Amino acid sequence: MKRKMRTGAVIAYLFLALVCLYNIMPFVWMVFTSFKTDKEAYAIPPTFWPQEPTLEAYVQVLLWTNFPRYFLNSTTISLGTALLSTFIGSLAGYGFSRFIFRGRATLVGIILASQMLPGVLLVGPYFKILAKLGLYNTYPGLILAFTTITLPFSTWMLKGFIDTVPEELDQAALVDGCTRLGAYFRVILPVIAPGMVATMIFAFLLAWGDLLWVLVLTSGEDMATVTLGLSRLVTQFRIIWPQLMAGSVVGALPPVILYLVLQNYLVEGLTAGAVKE
C-alpha cells in the first residue's frame, strides 16, 4: 500500500515538474535570446545557448531607444491604478459588507457581471470621454481608465476580505466614539492590509500588461508604455529579436520583484479572503 502511494506521489511530482518546465521554457528562451547577437538570433537551425553572449541588445534598448521613458510611464500608471483602485474598492467593499439596503445583492451581481464585458467594447466610449475632458494622452486619464477596469474586481475581492472581519470590531470602535469612516480607517484597514496588498498586485499587473487601452488612449512617445514600446520593435519587414527579448526581460522585472517581495502578503490575503467566518 505504501509502495503504491509512493509511486503515485512520484508520478504526481514528475507531472508537476513537466508542467512547470513547459511553462518556464518560454521565459528561459526569452532570457537566452536577449544575450544573443543579431546574427545568432536568426540562425538556422536556432541555438538554445548563446554561443557568444553579449549585452549589446540591452545597451541598444536602454540607451538607444525611449525605453526608460516607457518604463517610467508604465510604473506611474500601474502604481496609480493599483492605489486608486484598491482604495475605492475597499470603500465600496466596506459598504457592501457592512450596510444592508434594498438591491444590495443585485448591485453586487451587476458589478461581477461587468467583468464579463470585453474591454474592447469600452475603448471607444472612453476615448470620447477622455478627449472631451481634456484627459486624452495624460497620466490621470489612463489611471482613471484602468481604475474603471480593475475596480469591479477590487471591490469584489475586498468585500470578501471585509466579510471575514467580525462586525464586533466596528461596533467597539463606534462605542469608543469613532465615526463609520473612523472605524474604517482605524480598525478595518489595518486588519485587511494583506487583502489590500493582494488586490493591489492584481490591479498593478493588469495595468502593467495592457496594450490595447494604451494604444488607443495615447499618442506619440511621451505617454507610451513598455508594452507599446515593445510592440514597436515588431516592424512590417523585420522583428528585432534580441532587442525585443531584452526589453521583455526588463519589462518583466517589476512584476516579478513585486511578487517576490510581497508574496507572503499575497498568500495571506488570498487565504483570508477564501475563508468566511
> Scanning the structure block, which residue is given the C-alpha cell 457592501?
96
Is residue 271 pLDDT above 70, yes or no?
A: no
Is residue 237 pLDDT above 80, yes or no?
A: no
Which residue blocks in the chain are alpha helix, DSSP H? 2-34, 38-41, 56-63, 67-98, 104-113, 120-133, 139-163, 167-175, 180-183, 189-191, 193-208, 212-217, 226-231, 241-274
pLDDT in tens, 86-139: 999 999 999 888 888 888 888 888 888 887 878 788 888 889 999 999 999 999
CA distances from 184 to 65, 91, 139, 151, 203 (A): 46, 8, 29, 19, 22
CATH of domain 59-274: 1.10.3720.10
Question: How does residue 3 score in pLDDT terms, banded at 50, 70 and 90?
Answer: low
Q: What pairs with residue 239 in β-bridges? A: 234
pLDDT for 276 equals: 46
Is residue 79 pLDDT above 90, yes or no?
A: yes
| For the chain, domain boundaries | 59-274
User: How many angstroms separate the CA atoms of 159 and 98, rounded?
Assistant: 9
Amino acid at 52: E
Sign of the alpha-carbon torsion through 12, 14, 20, 23: negative
User: How many angstroms separate the CA atoms of 54 and 51, rounded?
Assistant: 9
User: How many angstroms separate the CA atoms of 273 and 270, rounded?
Assistant: 5
Query: How long is the chain?
Result: 277
Q: Whole-model pTM?
A: 0.84
